[in-house]
Amino acid sequence: MKSSIETQKPEFTRLVWFSSLFMTEAFRASNVAETNMIMDIIFTIYKNNMFLRGWHSIMHSEEQRKSKSET
């Protein structure tokens, strides 16, 4: 049985999973440079996910506005 967050936001679940995977590797890293690089990867994934979600909502609202103006 899936949890409610998986059924509502599968992309968020994947983001959390990848973040936890990278965090595990960051704590296993032998030096600060490796840890910083892995943390940069996590934040890049997160920022890209937020950007794409925002872009999708903007495009969806534009489509709705166009369809309302046509009717």
Identify the burial level of 24 via C-beta atoms within 10 angstroms of its C-beta, where 0-12 means exposed, 13-18 middle and 19 or more buried: exposed
pLDDT-based confidence at residue 11 (cuts at 50, 70, 90)? low
Q: Identify the residue with better confidence: 15 or 67.
A: 67
Query: Which pTM does this prediction carry?
Result: 0.39
pLDDT at 61 over 70: yes
pLDDT tens for each residue of 17-57: 777 777 777 677 677 777 778 778 877 877 777 777 777 77
The CA-based angle 53-57-60, given to 5 degrees, is 135
